[in-house]
Amino acid sequence: MSLVTDTATDMVYPLLPLFLTRVLGAGAMSLGVIEGVAEAANSVLKVIAGRLSDRTGAPKWIVIAGYALSGAVRPLIGFATSWTHVLGIRFADRLGKGIRSAPRDAMLAHFAPPAIRGRVYGFHRAMDNAGAVVGPLLASLFLFFFPEQYRTLFALTLIPGIVVVVILLRVPDVRTDATPGVTATNVGGREPLMPSGDLKRALALIFVFSLGNASDAFLLLRLSDAGVAAVWIPVLWAALNLVKAAASVVGGDLSDRYGRRTLIGFGWLIYAAVYLAFGFVESTAALVAIFLTYGLYFGLTEGVEKAWIADLTPANARGTAFGVYNATLGVGVLAASLLFGFLWTRVSPQAAFLTGGTLALVATGLLYLLFSHETDSRHQR
């Protein structure tokens, strides 16, 4: 389901900056508003969906509802006539993501043996990223034969949206209120227990980093401004996700062996280096190479962060924990995208990228200060 969903999403996402600026006549600030609101306005819903998953212990139908909503509204971008229409559609699309994300991640924790949890989440991210390879390649192939036909392409994403719901109907029901072989502790509506300490510090650090983690649409816009033709943007997006897919499996496995902190810290440093380079490098070829290197950051952090959250949370509270985690990312992305768009428009693109890179360095330093022992950030075997 992740493979098919991301195929549909990434037939749209890498082309959205071009559609907004070239077809609808919008600017960089509107891009920041759209992507920030789309990722963050559903933050409360993520927490609610996660808590509902914990209380019922049966997340399957919550997950189906989220995927169905996104699949139904995504094709409507093809009918947009202003950037505010795109904002509304992206908002509804991300509401679907808000509904499904935490319950889905809790289901994965249920399926994943603790000793290989990093590998499981890494493989899930690899499937997401594989879809993000297929989607842009399909988009580029379509645009090669039908140049500038963005609207038709977006409307066609209805097909994978239907397919993913059919797949989901075949996913077995699971109970996430207990690990396999362990009696549930929150059956009957009892409140799940949320831990404090390490989990709160981990979420705080992730929030600090996310304040500099603006929408990747700005990287695509930078590549376009540097001279990359529109037809090649989806190809580059696919290549980036190919790197992400390969790195996700390796990163998750390494985190099981060497600890979550090590992999997350290294990934954040790569992010900082990429953003600083995007602010000052002018060569188109060099920017393309740096953009592909950016995929290593995702591979070393996305699945590993989720495994880290699962490590720090009891089984009967993981839906809520993942809801708070996803909400934290959403609020951070909103702030980061608005700040990035403001700096890009009012100061310079260089100032925006410099800010993002600096915040990533600050978060990395805090990671090692607050989690000074490796055993604080990996699964205890």
In this structure, the number of other CB atoms found within 10 A of the CB of residue 31 comes to 27
Q: Which amino acid is at 369?
A: L
Over its length of 381 residues, how does the chain's per-residue pLDDT go in tens digits? 889 998 998 888 778 877 888 788 877 677 767 766 766 667 778 888 888 888 877 788 889 999 999 999 999 998 988 888 888 888 888 889 888 888 888 888 888 888 888 889 999 989 988 888 888 888 888 988 988 888 999 999 999 999 999 988 888 777 655 444 333 333 334 444 455 578 889 999 999 999 988 878 889 888 988 888 877 887 888 888 889 989 998 998 999 988 888 999 999 999 999 999 998 888 889 999 999 999 999 989 988 999 999 888 887 788 888 888 988 887 887 788 888 888 988 898 899 999 999 999 999 999 988 886 554 444 444
d(C-alpha 157, C-alpha 115), whole Å: 38
pLDDT of 247 reads 92
In a 3-state reduction of DSSP, which class is residue 120? helix
Report how far apart the first and last C-alpha atoms of the chain are (Å, whole number). Answer: 31
* Angle (nearest 5°) at CA 72 between 67 and 77: 120
pLDDT of 207 reads 93
d(C-alpha 361, C-alpha 266), whole Å: 11
pLDDT of 196 reads 54
Q: Are 106 and 51 in contact (CB under 8 A)?
A: no
d(C-alpha 8, C-alpha 164), whole Å: 10
Two tokens, residue 323: 């809801």
d(C-alpha 333, C-alpha 215), whole Å: 7
pLDDT of 182 reads 34
d(C-alpha 381, C-alpha 377), whole Å: 12
Q: Are 278 and 150 in contact (CB under 8 A)?
A: no
Q: Are 180 and 110 in contact (CB under 8 A)?
A: yes
Q: CA nearest 297: which of 137, 131, 133, 125?
A: 125
Total length of the chain: 381
Two tokens, residue 113: 């043996």
d(C-alpha 212, C-alpha 358), whole Å: 8
Q: Which domains does the chain have, with CATH numbers?
A: 2-172+191-376 (1.20.1250.20)
In the chain, which residue ranges form alpha helices assigned H by DSSP? 2-12, 16-18, 28-40, 43-56, 60-73, 83-111, 117-145, 150-155, 158-169, 198-210, 217-225, 233-258, 260-280, 284-311, 318-346, 349-370
Q: Are 342 and 273 in contact (CB under 8 A)?
A: no
Q: State phi, psi for 183 to the nearest 5 degrees.
A: -65, 135
d(C-alpha 90, C-alpha 110), whole Å: 30
Three-state SS annotation for 225-247: HCCCCHHHHHHHHHHHHHHHHHH
User: Burial code of 162-180, b = ≥16 C-beta within 10 A, e = fewer?
Assistant: ebbbeebeeeeeebbbbbe
Q: Are 327 and 201 in contact (CB under 8 A)?
A: no
Token look-up 């580029």 returns 140
Two tokens, residue 177: 């209120």
